Amino acid sequence: MGAATGIVVADGNPTQGDDRFFALAAQGTRAADVLQSRASGSACPKAPGSTRLVQP
């Protein structure tokens, strides 16, 4: 499997990244939502498979 892109979404509105998710999927990019509260700090970039974070 290739690298994945994490889409940073607000904790209270996890569906805000849906458009970006489907756009990335249409391009063949693996994507996953990442809650904003978990996007900062040292743990997130080391999440399995995630190589970059983007905003919706």
Task: Give pLDDT tens digits for 1-42.
Answer: 556 888 888 899 888 888 988 998 899 988 888 888 888 765
pLDDT at 47: 55
Domain that holds residue 33: 4-54
Q: Is 38 helix (H, G, I), strand (E, B) or coil?
A: helix
pLDDT at 45 over 90: no
Query: What's the total number of domains in the chain?
Result: 1
Q: Which residues contact 7 (CB under 8 A, 6 or more apart)?
A: 17, 20, 21, 24, 31, 32, 33, 34, 53, 54, 55, 56
Question: Does residue 46 carry a pLDDT above 70?
Answer: no
Q: Which of 37, 38, 31 minimizes the C-alpha distance to 7?
A: 31
Residue type, 35: L
Is it the case that residue 49 has pLDDT exceeding 80?
no
pLDDT at 35: 85
Domain at 38, CATH number = 3.40.50
